[in-house]
Amino acid sequence: MSVEESIIKDFYQDNMNKYKKYFERLMNKDFNDLTEKSIANLRNQKDWLGLKSEDVKAIEQEIIKKYYQTSLDKYEEEFTKLINKEGYPLNIKIIATLKQRQEFLGVKLLGFNREDIVIVKQIINTSKEKSKAIDYLSSDAFEKDYQKLQNLLASKQWKEANEETKNILYTFILAINEMPMQPMVMIEFRWQIRIIDILWDVYSKGRFGFHKQRDIFVSSDRQYKTFSENIGWKKRVCFFSLDYSVFPPDFSGWKSKEEIMFSIDAPEGHLPFWRDYMNDREHIFINLIDSEFN
């Protein structure tokens, strides 16, 4: 490297550091201080310092991930103040303001409800690898994978949300079947199972979700048929034999999809309903859901 190239490189790196400090200061500003003008000034800094767009994006992503949980707490505080002042329903201007704030802080929520903040916090707190969770939540993948399910659950469209859950699970089940010996595929499947569970849990206020089903399974002495009766997937049917003993035959009493209650008034753990969509249901439940939420 020539002396001239070395000087240019050092000068560029110095400008990168200046932009980094400016971006950090702006992120730490209060909600009311973060104006359109201040954001425009930030963008002008990039041009004034002669920085490449890809380098600027890398700087911003590094800082966003570093301060993600702090930014999430900050957003929650600002959100609460705004909602207490403006109330529901949110008007277009407030939604635009919240969206801008989410984008700037790198907090990619699926909506503008308090539940959406709770969901992201739970995903981070229940993740074994918080850095991986933050990488995922700050990427476009989170919205791509779960925006539709969130919309359906937020609007209490339980039947449609159940169908979307089935579609998400099918994608990963197919991947597992294609690559059964790949441990990373199974790890990813368990990760998605947990996110789906959190969405169902939060929007049903604790009535539905995989972990709720697992709790009922445990309280049913881990008997799959008893569990299915307790959550309303199977009718409590008994037949009398010739010697008057009572036994519940395996083939009787199972409810079809048409008999499932897609309502918040359904029994706890009733949804999401997956029995009709999986082969070897009992094995899958015990070896996946039961172990995941143990």
Examine residue 101 and state whether it is found in any structural domain, yes or no. Answer: no
Q: What pLDDT score does 182 carry?
A: 66
pLDDT tens digits for range 108-159: 899 998 999 999 999 999 888 888 899 899 888 899 999 999 999 999 999 9
- Average pLDDT of the chain is 83
Contact 289, 214 (CB under 8 A): yes
* DSSP class of 91: P
Q: Closest by alpha carbon to 67, among 149, 134, 150, 151?
A: 134
Contact 107, 76 (CB under 8 A): no
Examine residue 24 and state whether it is found in any structural domain, yes or no. Answer: no
Q: Closest by alpha carbon to 103, among 20, 21, 47, 27?
A: 27
Q: Closest by alpha carbon to 72, among 127, 34, 118?
A: 118
Q: What pLDDT score does 139 carry?
A: 84
Q: How far apart are CA 281 and CA 103, in angstroms?
A: 41
Higher-confidence residue of 235 and 282: namely 235
Examine residue 89 and state whether it is found in any structural domain, yes or no. Answer: no
Q: What pLDDT score does 88 carry?
A: 83
* DSSP class of 239: E
pLDDT higher than threshold 70 for residue 238: no
- Find out whether the peptide bond into 272 is cis, omega within 30 degrees of 0: yes
Q: How far apart are CA 128 and CA 130, in angstroms?
A: 6
pLDDT higher than threshold 90 for residue 178: no
Examine residue 26 and state whether it is found in any structural domain, yes or no. Answer: no
Q: What pLDDT score does 249 carry?
A: 52
Percentage of the chain lying above the pLDDT 70 cut:
81
Q: What pLDDT score does 119 carry?
A: 96
Q: What pLDDT score does 159 carry?
A: 97
For position 158, which CATH number holds?
Answer: 1.10.10.1770
Rounded average pLDDT over 249-276 = 87
Examine residue 223 and state whether it is found in any structural domain, yes or no. Answer: yes
**Residue 142 has which token pair?**
């989170």
Examine residue 144 and state whether it is found in any structural domain, yes or no. Answer: yes
- HSE-CB at 216 with a 13 A cutoff on CA atoms is 24
Q: What pLDDT score does 244 carry?
A: 42
Examine residue 220 and state whether it is found in any structural domain, yes or no. Answer: yes
Examine residue 74 and state whether it is found in any structural domain, yes or no. Answer: no
pLDDT higher than threshold 60 for residue 240: no
288 SS3 class: helix
Domain count, the chain: 1
Q: What pLDDT score does 242 carry?
A: 45
- Find out whether the peptide bond into 248 is cis, omega within 30 degrees of 0: no
The residue range of the domain holding 152 is: 140-294
Rounded average pLDDT over 46-75 = 86
pLDDT higher than threshold 50 for residue 254: yes
pLDDT tens digits for range 214-235: 999 999 998 888 999 999 999 8
